[in-house]
Amino acid sequence: MDNSAAEDAAALPGSPHSPSVGKCGEAQPRPDQPAAVSTPAPVPRTRETAFDSFGHLKHTRELFWHYWAPVLTMLTLIALQSTELFSGTHTGRILGALMRLLGNPLSPQALALMNLVLRKTGHVIGYGLLCLSWLLLLRGSYWLRHEYQLCLKGSIQVRRLWWRPAWGALALLCTAAVAMADELHQMSLPGRTGRARDMLLDTFAALLATALVWHRARRRTAPQSQSAKPR
């Protein structure tokens, strides 16, 4: 009798020895048992969490590969074309051989003119791209320092994200310094000559690239500036 009474008492819902039943018949832990510690689900690694986890390492990689690499590439190409291998005599010979291979040989005067036009065009393109690379580096480093997404929330004007006069002036100064160093280096080579007009042409190419970037930034920010005006 005593054993059956104890079993009946344990089966009662209010008894401390009976397991409580939750929803859908799931057994709940008894009050005298410690509750199980739930493990939080792993947080998926997004771009923001990766940036916070790795910090300056990711910032440095993005700054180098996206912004410093184009500048270093253009500086390397300009240094190569400043050697004797790319002198006017050598490029004229290569151009003459190419025209004869194509079955259209040129006279010495026409060959010299074509060689001059191609070399000056290379100056304009090369130093224009160098100035553009400087501008992208200055703007990109600013974005990385001030977190581009936060800037778009209104703490910094949108126009100042795409263009600043200081960026254009510094890019022009850096490009003109490289042009001056290039011409001074060519003066020390036997088969090359440094000319002031070439340095002016390179600076003009940098000025043209800066004007194009300014015009592009002005057009990009014009609709946003007009929508921000009160009606």
CA distances from 43 to 49, 52, 53, 137 (A): 9, 13, 12, 33
Q: How far is CA 122 from the centre of its chain?
A: 25
What's the pLDDT at 160?
64
Q: Residue 15: how many CB atoms within 10 A of its CB?
A: 11
User: In sequence order, what are the beta bridge partners of 20?
Assistant: 28
What's the pLDDT at 217?
84
CA atoms within 13 A on the CB side of 100: 9
Distance between CA atoms of 196 and 88, rounded to whole angstroms? 17
Element containing residue 52 per DSSP (H, E):
helix 47-54
Distance between CA atoms of 183 and 169, rounded to whole angstroms? 21
What's the pLDDT at 65?
83
CA atoms within 13 A on the CB side of 97: 6
What's the pLDDT at 132?
95
Distance between CA atoms of 85 and 184, rounded to whole angstroms? 17
Q: What is the pLDDT along the chain (231 residues), one digit of tens a residue?
A: 455 554 454 444 444 444 444 444 445 555 555 555 555 554 444 444 344 444 455 567 777 888 899 999 999 999 999 988 888 888 999 999 999 999 988 899 999 999 999 999 999 999 999 999 999 999 888 777 765 555 555 555 555 667 889 999 999 999 999 999 999 999 988 878 888 999 999 999 999 999 999 998 888 776 555 555 544
